[in-house]
């Protein structure tokens, strides 16, 4: 097996709200070391925006994919964005804002090019949240509903974490390496699919479930231990 390139989504413990996630200095130091060790071939692959990732991991500005593949920053810091019209999202946004305002515990995360309706604070509202986002999706033909951990997301059909990983692997310093991708969410399945096609190592983090991943780790702490942060 040749040198590996690493792509990660499962580095942080789940928090009650998207804004309450915490990144430790020790994790930032680890990512910096691994980036240097792999000559830049390490990327974050996230549903969050690049702007959110930069706030979370500051002062680092890592190679990363944001918004499930809608935006991608390469090793030179160049950012590319998928050419997807978001005009149809406006009505969906208004509908979901009304639902979130009417039900305590629902939280609408507006990513600009995607919408996420979180129900972690009110798990009893899962069915209501699903019905709301399915109704919102009726107005967005180029978007589809994606399940996540206590969240329903409306995201573009044309891009995914898998398309971002494929694009990374086609360019330096990732090209010619073996992709290693660890993820803990349903949105990571497209990433597992692409990594498997490229002959890489796909890792589901968390409880066993039906998955395309070929390997598994029990949780974030096991991921960090495997990476060398114990």
Note the pLDDT tens digit of each residue in 47-92. Answer: 889 999 999 999 999 999 998 898 999 999 999 998 877 788 899 9
Q: Rounded CA gap, 114 and 25, in Å?
A: 29
**Confidence at residue 18, expressed as pLDDT on a 0 to 100 scale:** 55
Architecture of domain 4-82+159-227: 3-Layer(aba) Sandwich (3.40)
Sheet holding 71-73, edge to edge: 79-81, 71-73, 64-66, 42-45, 4-8, 178-183, 201-205, 215-217
Q: Which CATH architecture has domain 89-156?
A: 2-Layer Sandwich (3.30)
What beta strand segments (E) does 105-210 contain? 107-110, 115-118, 143-148, 151-156, 178-183, 201-205
Distance CA 214, CA 110 (A): 33
Residues of the chain predicted below pLDDT 50: 1, 230
C-alpha angle 9-170-41 in degrees, rounded to nearest 5 = 50
Helix (H) and strand (E) counts in the chain: 7, 12
Strands 178-183 and 201-205: parallel
Q: Are strands 115-118 and 4-8 parallel, antiparallel or unpaired?
A: unpaired
**pLDDT for res 13:** 54
Q: Strand pairing partners for 179?
A: 5
pTM exceeds cut of 0.85: no
Query: Is 87:185 a contact under the CB 8 Å cutoff?
Result: no
Annotated domain spans of the chain = 4-82+159-227, 89-156
Whether the Cβ atoms of residue 109 and residue 150 lie closer than 8 Å to each other: no
pLDDT at 179 (0 to 100): 95
């Amino acid at each position: 097996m040749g040198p590996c390139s690493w792509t990660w989504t499962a580095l942080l413990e789940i928090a009650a709200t998207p804004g309450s996630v915490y990144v430790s200095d020790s994790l930032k130091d680890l990512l910096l070391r691994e980036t240097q060790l792999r000559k830049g071939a390490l990327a974050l692959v996230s549903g969050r925006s690049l702007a959110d990732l930069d706030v979370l991991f500051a002062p680092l500005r890592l190679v990363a994919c944001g918004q499930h593949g809608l935006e991608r920053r390469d090793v030179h810091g160049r950012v590319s964005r998928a050419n997807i019209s978001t005009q149809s999202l406006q009505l969906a946004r208004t509908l979901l804002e009304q639902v979130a305002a009417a039900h305590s515990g629902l939280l609408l995360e507006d990513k600009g090019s995607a919408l996420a309706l979180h129900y972690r604070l009110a798990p009893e509202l899962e069915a209501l949240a699903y019905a709301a986002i399915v109704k919102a999706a009726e107005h967005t033909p180029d978007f589809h509903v994606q399940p996540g951990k206590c969240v329903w997301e409306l995201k573009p059909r044309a891009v995914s974490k898998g398309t971002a990983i494929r694009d990374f692997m086609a360019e330096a310093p990732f090209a010619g390496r073996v992709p290693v991708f660890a993820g803990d969410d349903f949105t990571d399945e497209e990433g597992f699919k692409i990594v498997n096609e490229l002959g890489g190592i796909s890792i589901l983090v968390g409880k066993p479930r039906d998955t395309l991943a070929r390997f598994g780790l029990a949780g974030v702490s096991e991921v960090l231990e495997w990476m060398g942060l114990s």
